Amino acid sequence: MTEKSQNKNIIKRPPVVVVMGHVDHGKSKLLDYIRKSNIVDKEAGGITQHIGAYEVEVHPASGSEGKGELITFLDTPGHEAFGKMRSRGAKVADIAILVVAADEGVKPQTVEAIKITQEENIPFIVAISKIDKPNAEPDRIKNELASNNVFVEGFGGTVSVVNISAKTGEGVPELLETILLTADMEDLKADKDANASGVVIEANLDQKRGITATLLIIDGTIKKGMFVTSGDALAPVRIFEDFKGKQTEEKSFSSPIKIIGFDKLPKVGSNFQTYTTKKDAIEAISLFRKTAVIQNKDQVNKEGKIIISIIIKTDVIGSLEAIVSEINKLSEEKILINILRQGVGTINKDDAKIASSAKDAYIIGFNVKTELGVSDFAEKFNIKIKNFDIIYAITDWLKEVITEKKSAFEQENISGEVKVLKIFEAKGSKYTLGGEVVSGEIKPNMAVNIKRRGTVIAKGELLSLQKGPEKIESISEGEQFGAVVESRVEIVKDDHLEIFTKLD
């Protein structure tokens, strides 16, 4: 459940801004300039390994004294491999800055950034960077943007555009003012009296500090002594830091914070919620787990697929992401690899309990240990624990499991067996034959295992059945018939055909 205060304190909140664009177009240099310039807090610093989050204080252009307005910046990685991370950043942002180099123009990651902002319906501002370069051509950039359906002011559109130089600082104050103006138009508000909620930006396993997560507060306030949940991950708010790495007692929207002490790795991009009591936090986790299991079961039953349910535990987040990526490649049209849970750390009893909710589940460990008592519990519920130290060994093993599951499906769905009495004709891969039903009942359009001396040598399909001149829809044990069977391997007299329901 979400805790809200009775007395609403809905007020204006600072905008969250994501900086996007092609590699080497000056995104990080722009943020560095903003952080180090005299209009923002000089002590600003990054708090995550993979995505920078910074709060800056922008003062009026007049330079008057007093408190300025806050902006939170997200710095997304520029390399193509980080496309997923850039998309995560866009989903939590209120405004996007599309940085395009004045001397290079629109590039593949520029186009990707445009697509993300349009799909997420995020207002964005174009910042044409490196305007100090002698070969800078801002008008050419504007025309290239128009070719990609981005029409800036002065070129047939309403998208704000600012020429900037992170080297000289030209245009940066104007860019910040444009951000604040856009934020005013978006009318961003939040409830300061609510318990904090927001999005997990990053999560890491620190060998010295344990599991830490960087959170971006979207609504409400977090205080020391509260409890944070994200999915089924829980952390007491004993130690938390602001974006400078300083311990703090209280933070509100739109601040990035680091929480230390999660019991498991929260999923990046997932929502988080805070609670005043541990009891409420545990109830929320319990509800999440029940809902997740029900959703998994409903999904797979309705789709009628062969299900392989797994839990993955690894030593570090990088290994986890690589393994999940490789495993997802193995899913087929009628094979669903259902990841019940994934995380960093040892294989524990909680993992085994979740695995027990699914039939014949597997727990995969990568460079991690299994806690005492877990193996006994797993054996009791027919849960198989497999440990690996090479990623491709996991995929090779899973391929074998998929093959075994398919074979088991066929055995469970065999409707009949046929002995081949005579081959009348063979045209290409189609065999017209006469046979006798040894057991069960067979029908057209079923799958076939071709067996020779007790061993399956190939697979095929039963295309049609007939008795005498008439085509028939089924035939039972003890009866003889004619049939057309498709097979890439030659069918001969005395072969046996197992007929089973097709997996399609």
| Exposure class string for 339-363: b at 16+ Cβ within 10 A, else e | bbbbbbbebbebbbebbebbeebbb
Given the structure tokens 């409707």, which residue do they identify? 415
- Residue 456 in domain: yes
pLDDT at 378: 86
Whether residue 129 sits in one domain with residue 259: no
Does position 188 have pLDDT exceeding 60, yes or no? yes
Q: What mean pLDDT is predicted for residues 237-245?
A: 88
Return the number of other C-beta atoms located less than 10 Å from residue 195's C-beta: 22
Mean pLDDT within 153-173: 91
List all residues 6 or more positions away from 9 whose beta carbon is below 8 Å from its beta carbon: 191, 192, 193
Residues 475 and 429 in one domain: yes
351-383 pLDDT per residue, tens? 888 888 777 789 999 999 999 889 888 887 788
Query: Which tokens in the block code for residue 481?
Result: 């018939």
**Same domain for 220 and 74:** no
Q: Kindly report whether the peptide bond that precedes residue 254 is cis, defined as omega within 30 degrees of 0.
A: yes
Mean pLDDT of 27-55: 57
Same-domain check for residues 42 and 126: yes
Same-domain status, 386 and 465: no
Backbone dihedral angles phi then psi of residue 272, each to the nearest 5 degrees: -125, 160
- Is residue 297 a part of any domain in this protein? no
| Enclosing H/E stretch for 128 | strand 124-129
Of 95, 24, 17, 87, which is closest to residue 56 (Cα–Cα)? Answer: 17
Output the pLDDT for position 502.
Answer: 67
Which tens digits make up the pLDDT trace of 458-495? 889 999 999 988 999 999 999 999 999 999 999 999 99
Structural domain total, the chain? 4
CA dihedral 198, 201, 207, 209 (to 10 degrees): -30
Helix (H, G, I), strand (E, B) or coil at 135: coil
Does residue 299 surpass a pLDDT of 70?
no
Residue 320, φ and ψ in degrees, nearest 5: -60, -50
- 133-157: b (≥16 Cβ within 10 Å) or e: eeebbbeebbebbeeeebebeeeeb
Bridge partners, 48 (sequence order): none
pLDDT at 12 over 50: yes
Last residue of a domain, one of 377, 411, 445: 411
Task: Give 295's pLDDT tier (boundaries 50, 70, 90).
Answer: very low
| Distance, CA of 197 to CA of 219 (rounded, Å) | 5
Quickly state the pLDDT bin for 292 (edges 50, 70, 90).
Answer: low
Nearest to 52 by CA among 164, 169, 201: 201
Q: Does residue 236 sit in the same domain as residue 335? A: no
1 in a domain, yes or no? no
Q: Which of 266, 281, 296 is the last residue of a domain?
A: 281
Confidence band (pLDDT; 50, 70, 90) for 45?
very low
Q: Where in the sequence is the domain holding 201, given as residue range(s)?
A: 192-281
Prediction pTM value? 0.57
Handedness of CA 264, 269, 275, 279 (dihedral sign): negative
pLDDT at position 32 over 50: yes
DSSP readout, 259-324?
EEEESSPPPTT-EEEEESSHHHHHHHHHHHHHHHHHHHHHHHHHHT-EEEEEEEEESSHHHHHHHH
Confidence of residue 411 (pLDDT cuts 50, 70, 90): low
- Which two tokens mark 21? 């664009």
Q: Is residue 443 part of a domain?
A: yes
Which residue type does 327 have? Answer: I
Residues 461 and 428 in one domain: yes
Q: Per-residue confidence at 349, pLDDT binned at 50, 70, 90?
A: confident
| 470 beta partners | 467
Cα maximum dimension of the chain: 101
Number of Cβ atoms within 10 Å of the Cβ of 302: 8
Say which residue the tokens 């499991």 belong to: 401
Given 378, 411, 444, the domain boundary residue is: 411
DSSP 51-116: SEEEEEEEPPTT--SS--EEEEEEE---SGGGHHHHHHHHHH-SEEEEEEETTT---HHHHHHHHH
**497 pLDDT exceeds 90?**
yes
Report if residue 298 sits inside a domain: no
Q: Tell me, what's the pLDDT at 64?
A: 52
Residue 422, pLDDT > 90, answer yes
Of 137, 78, 126, nearest to 103 (Cα)? 137
For residue 21, the model assigns a pLDDT of: 81
pLDDT digits (tens, 9 = 90+) for 219-228: 899 999 999 9
CATH number, domain with residue 475: 2.40.30.10
407 and 418 fall within a common domain: no
Q: Same domain for 334 and 447?
A: no
Contact 86, 112 (CB under 8 A): yes
Q: Residue 84 pLDDT > 60, yes or no? A: no
Residue 290 maps to a domain: no
Please tell me the distance from the alpha carbon of residue 271 to that of residue 216, in angstroms, as a whole number: 10
Percent of the chain with pLDDT over 90: 39
Least confident window among 201-215, 242-256, 279-293: 279-293
Average pLDDT score over residue span 304-333: 84
The C-alpha atoms of residue 205 and residue 344 are separated, in whole angstroms, by: 7
Q: Tell whether 150 and 274 lie within a shared domain.
A: no
Which 3 state secondary structure label does DSSP give 177? Answer: helix
The answer to whether the CB of 313 falls within 8 A of the CB of 343 is yes
Q: Is the pLDDT of residue 86 over 70?
A: no
Write the CATH number for 371.
3.40.50.10050
pLDDT-derived band at 156 (thresholds 50, 70, 90) equals: confident
Q: pLDDT of 100-124, one tens digit each?
A: 999 888 888 888 888 888 877 889 9
Q: Please indicate, yes or no, if residue 286 is contained in any of the structural domains.
A: no
Report which secondary-structure segment, H or E, holds 435: strand 430-442
pLDDT of 427 reads 92
Instruction: Give the residue among 258, 277, 252 at the shortest CA–CA distance from 200.
Output: 258
Structure tokens at 211: 């599991």
Q: Are residues 203 and 215 in the same domain?
A: yes
- 218 with 175, same domain? no
In a domain, residue 291? The reply is no
Q: Residue 175, SS3?
A: helix
